[in-house]
Amino acid sequence: MRVISLKKLRGFWENSRNPGAESPLRAWYQVAKAADWTCFADVRETYSAADAVGNKVVFDIGGNKYRLIAVIDYEGHKVFVRHVLDHKEYDKGRWKKDTFGEDWQPRPNKGKGRQAGGKRSGRRRKRDKE
């Protein structure tokens, strides 16, 4: 999966209010990056404590110290990190007002470029043939 973005994770762990967050967030990032999730059930196989809340997935991070809220585009193989929160901020519920991804439409299959599974089509550019 393509995780967007490491910057939000880094911003959280570099904050002095979140000591000890770097290691579990980096571990989550590496696992998510290597994953090939096609549906929420795949996410649950990797993270049994993950919860679907509307169009978002809530991950328990660092022994349940932190919450990572993401929107996952399974078809596009992208994980959009929307929020990284401690329990106090998570419990306030402001993250629920985030409407990112609620209006997504199914992607049309144009038959060009990358095929399912991330493989390139058999066509080569002119300069590749030389």
**CATH number for the domain that contains residue 44:** 3.30.2310.20
Domain count, the chain: 1
Domain assignment present for 29: yes
Residue 18 lies in a domain: yes
- Per residue in 50-74, pLDDT tens? 999 999 999 999 988 999 999 999 9
The answer to whether residue 71 sits within a structural domain is yes
Which domain covers residue 33, as residue numbers?
A: 2-95
- pLDDT value at residue 109: 63
pTM, two decimals, is 0.78
Is 23 domain-assigned?
A: yes
Q: Rounded to an integer, what distance in angstroms lies between the CA atom of residue 48 and that of residue 25?
A: 17
Residue 105 in any domain: the answer is no
Contact (CB, 8 A) for 71 and 101: yes
Is 120 inside a domain boundary?
no
Q: How far is CA 83 from CA 33, 49, 67, 87, in A?
A: 17, 17, 8, 12
